[in-house]
Amino acid sequence: MRSKGKHIRLLYIPLVLTFAALSAVGTYAAQSTADRAQLRDTAGQYDVIERELHPGRYTGSKSIQADTLWHPDILEGYEAVSVNLGKSFDGPVSCTVVRRMASVPTNKAVLYVHGFNDYFFQSEMGELFNGQGINFYAVDLRRYGRSLRPWQYPFNVRDFKEYFEDIDAALRIIRADGNSDITLSGHSTGGLTVSLYAAMRGSGCGVRRVVTDSPFLEWNFNAFYRRCLIPAVTLFGAISPDTKIPQGDCDAYSHSLLRQYHGEWEYNTDWKMVVSPPVTASWIRAVSRAQSKVMRHGRNITVPVLVMHSSTGTQTCGWTPECMEADVVLNPADIQKRGQKLGRNPVVTAIDSGMHDLILSRPEVRSAAYDTIFRFIARH
């Protein structure tokens, strides 16, 4: 009996360590009460995070109607179509494909996949690709932006391979439009997603090249968090996938982007929030597993790969002028190191003084990023 009791007590150890990890991850990202109060006053969005999001309280109908025709998008000059992707763990899901066609007929196209706490809003991107004679497409993934439904928790995911259905749907549309030379592009978690897609599909990925902008290939934590706490939370994500983990109150990045603060962009802050809401334990699990798979299978990518990242990184929670010329989300050194494992001869390039999203950086920086992309496409 004593032996049995001892074994039962031993079973509690992993659970205790995991709950400690959950607490530590939340603490790592948190700010002081004074900073939280200031953020409410300055950002005007913290109340959304404070009351949190409760899609479980939604009692309306859960149904998605797919579009049969393109319709005007929320961005001027763009069209959009919604694609029904069937049912997932939280009910019906869909993705939204947005397009802007080049003025001259072409068989060249690019598909852009956004990052975390994000959606496609930067209309300049499509215009510039069109100027290069390339048809432009973007996809708002399930539970993001145009595709978010009231019964869904934003950004939630169990496995990044879920997004393969979204990419497949977008690629079918792109091919139906007569495009055969396709570039698959992604930023941050979108860069992780397209890298995983190309690695797992291998020679059957169906695109000519992959372009990534600051891909999320590694957590920007210290060694202890990476080796101990993140694996513990990853394990917990399989047991309690919907447990919420705070991301802190940091607004440095959003204040670097939004025109109302220090940036030059305007977007829907209900879809791309000033402060990230808590993420689910399953999201952390999905990210970690996707990163591991990409590192294990990265050499399976058979098409040319471009990996771009900022030349500089910095860690700060509140905005400073330095935020305008550095990656405040990921560590460029990690991207540089891990990016070398994508494909057989990847082109890994640092863009001087870029922000996390290089194409949202100041004009001369994003011009260098676009020039790098267009030269890569032309060369490959």
Asked if pLDDT for residue 46 goes beyond 80, the answer is no
Asked if pLDDT for residue 4 goes beyond 80, the answer is no
| CA–CA separation, 187 and 215 (whole Å) | 6
Digit-coded pLDDT (tens) for 153-210 = 999 999 999 999 999 999 999 999 999 999 999 999 999 999 999 999 999 999 999 9
Cβ partners under 8 Å of residue 247, min gap 6: 29, 275, 276, 277, 278, 279
Q: Which residue has the tokens 């001259």?
A: 104
Q: Model confidence at 225, in pLDDT bands (50, 70, 90)?
A: confident
Asked if pLDDT for residue 27 goes beyond 80, the answer is no
| CA–CA separation, 187 and 355 (whole Å) | 12
Asked if pLDDT for residue 299 goes beyond 70, the answer is yes
Q: What is the pLDDT of residue 199?
A: 98
Q: What is the pLDDT of residue 56?
A: 80
Q: What is the pLDDT of residue 302?
A: 97
Asked if pLDDT for residue 286 goes beyond 60, the answer is yes
Digit-coded pLDDT (tens) for 252-267 = 999 999 999 999 999 9
Q: What is the mean pLDDT of the chain?
A: 89
pTM for this predicted structure: 0.89
Q: What is the pLDDT of residue 248?
A: 82
Q: Which residue has the tokens 């001087």?
A: 352
The two structure tokens encoding residue 191: 């860069």
Asked if pLDDT for residue 33 goes beyond 50, the answer is no
